[in-house]
Amino acid sequence: MLSAEYLGTIRSEGLRIVDLARRDPARPVPQYPGWAMSDLANHIASIQGRTTAICREKPTERPSAPHLPHGVDVVDWCEANLTEMLQALEESDPDTAVWGFWSDSSIGLWERRMVIEAGIHRWDADQAFGEEHGLMEIVALSGLNEYADMWLPRLTPVPTIELVATDLGRSWVYGPGAPEATVRGGASDIYLRLMSRPSPVELPAKWAEAVDSLEPPRR
């Protein structure tokens, strides 16, 4: 069985995105210039659809993400894909090996990835409406636990760094050897900065340049 807390977080954060996108599909999303809330809903729906396929088909190579069917409302599609993905996750064995972005990828790691996707894009959606709500603790913790495997390999070379989440009493070291710098802050603020979102956390110059140069999301 997968984590009830993870699944509950995916559901609540996903429904928040749906509710905001339905409120104003044309509302611009500051994080992604040129995107409206309908685009954000389309992006997350496509990711959810691919995750459903991964759970059910158990591919060993990267599957294509689905596209919005002709004539279907994008927010309705997002809500339907969220429901279907949650069912697929609930029915899955987290230890099942599948294609993924990580070594020894499993459905359990995809569940964690969906917690992060739902949480970070819920933050993006709130920002579109001028609402300031940090990441849930489970989202920030999941993101920081994943970062070394998911994002660090995609960065241009950066010095080893230690990140200290002062609110959680936890720390992470990204890179080999002794850290050249230590950054402290709340877990939400740290992860938001690592994902190139506005945050009071300041990264060393090379790290700031590297994380801000990451490509925008794609399906």
Mean pLDDT of 18-28: 98
Whole-model pTM above 0.85?
yes
From residue 147, give the alpha-carbon distance in Å to each of 25, 110, 111, 113. Answer: 31, 14, 15, 11
- Domains defined for the chain, CATH in brackets: 4-128 (1.20.120.450), 137-212 (3.30.1050.20)
Query: For residues 52 and 90, is the Cβ–Cβ distance under 8 A?
Result: no
Res 107 pLDDT > 60: yes
Res 114 pLDDT > 60: yes
Select the more confidently predicted residue: 169 or 218. Answer: 169
Query: For residues 125 and 35, is the Cβ–Cβ distance under 8 A?
Result: no
- Binned at pLDDT 50, 70 and 90, residue 33 comes out as very high
Question: What pLDDT, on a 0 to 100 scale, did the predictor assign at position 216?
Answer: 61
Question: What pLDDT, on a 0 to 100 scale, did the predictor assign at position 196?
Answer: 95
Res 130 pLDDT > 50: yes
Please name every residue paired with 172 in a beta bridge, in sequence order, or none if there are none.
163
Question: What pLDDT, on a 0 to 100 scale, did the predictor assign at position 1?
Answer: 44
Res 30 pLDDT > 80: yes
From residue 192, give the alpha-carbon distance in Å to each of 70, 102, 133, 186, 189. Answer: 34, 21, 12, 10, 5
Q: What is the mean pLDDT of the chain?
A: 95
| pLDDT one-digit tens code per residue, 160-200 | 999 999 999 999 999 999 999 999 999 999 999 999 999 99
- Count other C-beta atoms under 10 Å from residue 183's C-beta: 20
Question: What pLDDT, on a 0 to 100 scale, did the predictor assign at position 131?
Answer: 93
- Binned at pLDDT 50, 70 and 90, residue 102 comes out as confident
- Binned at pLDDT 50, 70 and 90, residue 219 comes out as very low
Query: For residues 29 and 123, is the Cβ–Cβ distance under 8 A?
Result: no
Question: What pLDDT, on a 0 to 100 scale, did the predictor assign at position 214?
Answer: 84
